[in-house]
Structure 1
Amino acid sequence: MSDEKKSVDALTFEDRDEFQRKPIAEKVVRLLMSGIEASPMVIDGNWGTGKTEFCHKLINLLREADDAAQVQVAYVDAFKADHANEPLMTLIAAISNLIEDEETAKNFKEKAIPALRYGLKTLGKAGIAWILKKNADDIPDEFEEVLQEAAEDSINAAIEQSIKDHQDIEAALVTLQKALEQIAQEKPLILFIDELDRCKPDFAIAMLENIKHVFDVPNVQFVLVSNLRQLKDSINHCYGAGVDAQKYLDKFIKYSLQLPADFSPDRYNYTLAAVEHAKQLMEKSSLLQNSDFSKRNGLFQFLEILIRENELSLREVETFVRHLEIAQLLGGEKYFTNIVFGVELLRLIGVYIYSFEKDAANKIVSEKTEALAITRTFGIWSFAETEQFDHNPSHQQVMARILMLENQGGVEGVSERNKNNDDGWKKEIAAYFSGSLRHGMDGYYTKVIADTVRMLQLGV
């Protein structure tokens, strides 16, 4: 079975480990099996950094461990359960599915039902209260006195019922926890909760609070695979911007680790995981595997600069490479193959801008662009960075030099003197565009970028 056809949940680190994360996973397994109270733990990472794939590989690694038979492991996609808006039910269902013995599973569900019923019951009460409030204005004045007396009686009854409900739910939760403890005593439980950062804030926080207050049971561990920054935003959404989200999380989370953006083939050679991901995607692409991205180091080096400067996630890299494939398809098989190097760089810039800078892309095709809107995508923020000729200028400096001189809008420091490039700059730029018949024509460089954007927009 090929990697492309193999489902994510069946992947292992043996299938692929391009970001060299197996050592991290092995340490997580050791921690989970150690008995140290590190649960709930969070595996943190930005969107698009491969958290879900890492989670499934980690689960499979855990199941292959020497003492794997001693634990029960479940995976919960919180985002898929979000629509039900019942985090308690989601967790109970995940645990029920782990119980192999039918009688034990049935007994556990029966003990969980009172806690679940209470949640539905409180929803019903809220609806009734809303109806009563909505219709209160329609009650005639002569009934106000009777209503007041009835209201006082209702309030007293409601308080008594609320106390009873509180006692009932406490009893139901204790029953549930004892049943859970008995199951986990025989075989510890490890639940992986994924995609929590994609859920509605109310559901995400309810899930955290259920884990803390209902499932704080010996031998039950939780691993949350989520973006911590997004979880903090959810906390502030629910409880207000004045709440210290980090302190709130500290009440729930006992250990967290962040998936690194870098991996190291050896201790002296660190490479961004996103760059390696781009390389592997291009090697697998029938459209790009024979392009100058693989043949000419300079073109891929500029791609790497765009990835690094803009801190692209793995998912964003996939978007970028997909658009490069589309450009190669629409522009012809030689769009990034055996053509003028400077033109290739400008086209690459055009694909990046189309992919991630929509406002700049629209301005470029409308001929309203400013140089800095383009050059900042590859790390050049001022004309001063290109004013003095360096005998070995970087690709960024050369591209920025030609674009800033061609598009002076909003660029400080451009003068008539600066337009008269010295011989060094002229020779360097000529080397980048050797063989281009239109090189040097007014607006030529920006037009190459604009043509690329327009092509990706499926324009003429």
Structure 2
Amino acid sequence: MDVSNHASKFNQWKDTYNWNTCKTNRKEYGQFIAQFLTSESRVLNLNGIYGSGKTEFIRRLYVELAQRNHPVVYIDVWESDFSNNPLAVICSELLQQIEYVFKEKDPTGKAVEIGKAKNIFNKLKSKLGICLKYAEPATAFTGDPSLISGVKAISKIVEVTPDLNDSKQFQKYTETIQKNHIESIQAVKDIKEYLTYLSELIEIIYALNIPIVILIDELDRCRPNYAIEILEVIKHFFETEGFTFLVATNTEVLEHSVKSIYRIDFDAQLYLRRFFDRKITLPQVSMMNYLTSKNLDFDKYKNKKVLLYPFIDDQTINLSVFASLFENNKIELRGIEQILNRFFVSLDYAVNQRKSSETLINTVVLMLGLIEQHLDKVEQVERTNAEKAYFSVAIERPIKDLIESMFNCVTITQALKCHSTGGRVTEFGHPQTMLIVESSNFSKVKSTNHQSLESAISKMISYFNDDNFNYWMWEDYQKIILLSGHIE
């Protein structure tokens, strides 16, 4: 049968979200998780910090599972965060996406079985409707929206309702509540049985593999009480044989949500263990591999009167500098994408705003400044052309000396000695204005590949002293960084 019949989003996602387009090198990990997910029925937590690529990973997992012949459902619960009824949301998405299976004709000629499947499907809808029927009244009675869709709420009402046998009206009320409670409890039991039976029939009729996999995304972005209600719904209604749930969250944020509902000293980790059988952690990516896979195009600026320094001959050396800075400062993938976008937008702006002369742009200075902006570092705003740069971002060797030297190429000082290539020194009787890099011996400055940058720095100094050349100083970078900061 067509894959899209058991994975309704497959055709929409298969070209974009597959392992061949994955720049985080998570193919083998994803295939391993797909196998683990489908080995038995369970509820799993996929843990990853904001911006770590959870959504892209879970969508690729969707495509992988669909290709493995598993019915698969994707639910972005944040899209329904405005709702007060998570059971209705889960039911709607589950039934709508699973119903695609039954649009396909029975390929094995088992007309009796497909009739049973459709009958069970309709009964499942009916039983879910019973639970939904009591959800809003239960919330109104108890005033506690975190109780599970009527079932737990009604149970609580029955428990706390006093014996009011003297009042026929209240006795009738109590009997009604008890009847509704019993009906809801039975409906939950029926739902679990129907879901398991339905998965078995799908396997028999369409030769699909079970369990059916439900992928829940963006839970940690939801309102705290809504996020908890979603977990309650999964636990009490859908944790059943034939179904596996993978819930993608920033688990630390989810724990804060739990504490905001209960109390700050509440054991949120223990609480969440009630819902998840296992926790899976999204692995860190190799930053260098990630940047390399993006095929960043520096060459397009050649012959456009924009010179990118200090890596004149091999601009790809930038990648090792960028990777180190991103890793040192623990910048997540989403943040890296924003910074890279601003970096190239800044270069494009320089191309379009160039003067008649050539413009020299120091890629290391521009990137470090953009990272400072991303991390809200005050020195990015307060630093001037006429002072030695200091940094509060994390910069580790071997790039620390490189960073300092590059900033010394865009800031000035007054000095009595001026250094040039070959260790030559010129002395003056009065302080002279020069680049800070000229005020000390720069012959020992190395790039990340351990090659000397003496020649590049010497060339930069010559451009700085050429009045016909547009040489960017720190405050020029500051302006472009400020402009690019308006791009999210």
Instruction: Indicate yes or no: 2:66 matched with 1:51.
Output: no
1:76 is paired with a residue whose SS is strand
Instruction: Indicate yes or no: 2:245 matched with 1:217.
Output: no
After superposition, the Cα gap between the structure-2 partners of 1:181 and 1:327, relative to the gap in structure 1 and judged at 3 Å, is: same
After superposition, the Cα gap between the structure-2 partners of 1:252 and 1:432, relative to the gap in structure 1 and judged at 3 Å, is: farther
How far apart, CA to CA, are the structure 2 residues paired with 1:34 and 1:356?
Answer: 42
Say which of 248, 256, 259 aligns to 2:282: 259
After superposition, the Cα gap between the structure-2 partners of 1:253 and 1:358, relative to the gap in structure 1 and judged at 3 Å, is: same
1:332 is paired with a residue whose SS is helix
> What's 1:13 paired with?
18
Say which of 302, 308, 311 aligns to 2:330: 311
User: C-alpha offsets along residues 88-132 of structure 1, whole Å, 9 cap, x if unaligned?
Assistant: 1122223322132654432221121111111122234368xxxxx
Say which of 463, 468, 486 aligns to 1:436: 463
Q: Which amino acid aligns with 2:200?
A: Q
> What's 2:217 paired with?
194
CA contact (8 A) 1:361 1:453 kept: no
Higher mean C-alpha displacement, 253-262 vs 103-112: 103-112
Instruction: Indicate yes or no: 2:371 matched with 1:352.
Output: yes
Please report how far the alpha carbon of residue 315 of structure 1 lies from its aligned counterpart in structure 2 after TM superposition.
Answer: 1.3
Matches within 5 A, 1:27-66: 27-35=32-40, 39-65=42-68
Please report how far the alpha carbon of residue 173 of structure 1 lies from its aligned counterpart in structure 2 after TM superposition.
Answer: 1.4
Matches within 5 A, 1:58-457: 58-65=61-68, 68=69, 71-97=70-96, 98-99=98-99, 100=102, 102-125=118-141, 162-186=177-201, 187=203, 188=210, 189-263=212-286, 271-272=287-288, 274-276=290-292, 279-280=294-295, 282-283=296-297, 292=308, 295-332=314-351, 340=360, 343-357=362-376, 360-364=379-383, 371-372=389-390, 375-379=391-395, 394-399=401-406, 423-425=440-442, 428=445, 430-431=457-458, 433-437=460-464, 446-456=474-484
Q: Which amino acid aligns with 1:34?
A: S
User: C-alpha offsets along residues 197-219 of structure 1, whole Å, 9 cap, x if unaligned?
Assistant: 11111111111111112222111
CA contact (8 A) 1:327 1:351 kept: no
How far apart, CA to CA, are the structure 2 residues paired with 1:370 and 1:241?
Answer: 45
2:239 is paired with a residue whose SS is coil
Aligned residues: 386
CA contact (8 A) 1:330 1:455 kept: no
CA contact (8 A) 2:50 2:250 kept: yes
CA contact (8 A) 2:47 2:282 kept: yes
CA contact (8 A) 1:43 1:226 kept: yes
User: C-alpha offsets along residues 16-65 of structure 1, whole Å, 9 cap, x if unaligned?
Assistant: 13222121122122223323x5x211222122222212112112111222
After superposition, the Cα gap between the structure-2 partners of 1:297 and 1:184, relative to the gap in structure 1 and judged at 3 Å, is: closer
After superposition, the Cα gap between the structure-2 partners of 1:231 and 1:285, relative to the gap in structure 1 and judged at 3 Å, is: farther
Please report how far the alpha carbon of residue 435 of structure 1 lies from its aligned counterpart in structure 2 after TM superposition.
Answer: 2.5
After superposition, the Cα gap between the structure-2 partners of 1:165 and 1:313, relative to the gap in structure 1 and judged at 3 Å, is: same
Higher mean C-alpha displacement, 197-206 vs 353-362: 353-362
1:184 is paired with a residue whose SS is helix
Please report how far the alpha carbon of residue 283 of structure 1 lies from its aligned counterpart in structure 2 after TM superposition.
Answer: 3.7
CA-based RMSD? 4.1
CA contact (8 A) 1:288 1:328 kept: no
After superposition, the Cα gap between the structure-2 partners of 1:56 and 1:166, relative to the gap in structure 1 and judged at 3 Å, is: same
How far apart, CA to CA, are the structure 2 residues paired with 1:104 and 1:95?
Answer: 15
CA contact (8 A) 1:371 1:403 kept: no
CA contact (8 A) 2:387 2:411 kept: no
After superposition, the Cα gap between the structure-2 partners of 1:80 and 1:423, relative to the gap in structure 1 and judged at 3 Å, is: closer
CA contact (8 A) 1:323 1:355 kept: no
How far apart, CA to CA, are the structure 1 residues paired with 2:243 and 2:55?
Answer: 21
2:244 is paired with a residue whose SS is strand
CA contact (8 A) 1:49 1:313 kept: yes
1:182 is paired with a residue whose SS is helix
TM-score with structure 1 length normalisation? 0.70
CA contact (8 A) 2:288 2:320 kept: no
Please report how far the alpha carbon of residue 422 of structure 1 lies from its aligned counterpart in structure 2 after TM superposition.
Answer: 7.5
After superposition, the Cα gap between the structure-2 partners of 1:258 and 1:369, relative to the gap in structure 1 and judged at 3 Å, is: farther
After superposition, the Cα gap between the structure-2 partners of 1:394 and 1:224, relative to the gap in structure 1 and judged at 3 Å, is: same
CA contact (8 A) 1:310 1:377 kept: yes
How far apart, CA to CA, are the structure 1 residues paired with 2:377 and 2:439?
Answer: 35
CA contact (8 A) 2:411 2:474 kept: no
Please report how far the alpha carbon of residue 295 of structure 1 lies from its aligned counterpart in structure 2 after TM superposition.
Answer: 3.8
CA contact (8 A) 2:388 2:408 kept: no
CA contact (8 A) 1:346 1:448 kept: no
Please report how far the alpha carbon of residue 172 of structure 1 lies from its aligned counterpart in structure 2 after TM superposition.
Answer: 2.3
How far apart, CA to CA, are the structure 1 residues paired with 2:134 and 2:244?
Answer: 25
User: C-alpha offsets along residues 399-425 of structure 1, whole Å, 9 cap, x if unaligned?
Assistant: 46679997xxxxxxxxxxxx9998434
Q: Which runs of 4+ in 1 moved over 6 A?
A: 154-158, 284-291, 367-370, 400-406, 419-422
> What's 2:417 paired with?
none
After superposition, the Cα gap between the structure-2 partners of 1:93 and 1:361, relative to the gap in structure 1 and judged at 3 Å, is: same
1:237 is paired with a residue whose SS is helix
Higher mean C-alpha displacement, 320-329 vs 356-365: 356-365
CA contact (8 A) 1:10 1:60 kept: no
1:223 is paired with a residue whose SS is strand
User: C-alpha offsets along residues 152-209 of structure 1, whole Å, 9 cap, x if unaligned?
Assistant: 9687776665544433321221222222222123244211111111111111111111
How far apart, CA to CA, are the structure 2 residues paired with 1:7 and 1:121?
Answer: 39
Larger helix percent: 1
Percent identity for Structure 1 against Structure 2: 18
1:434 is paired with a residue whose SS is helix
After superposition, the Cα gap between the structure-2 partners of 1:285 and 1:194, relative to the gap in structure 1 and judged at 3 Å, is: farther
TM-score with structure 2 length normalisation? 0.67
How far apart, CA to CA, are the structure 2 residues paired with 1:24 and 1:243?
Answer: 34
> What's 2:424 paired with?
none
Q: Which amino acid aligns with 1:31?
A: F
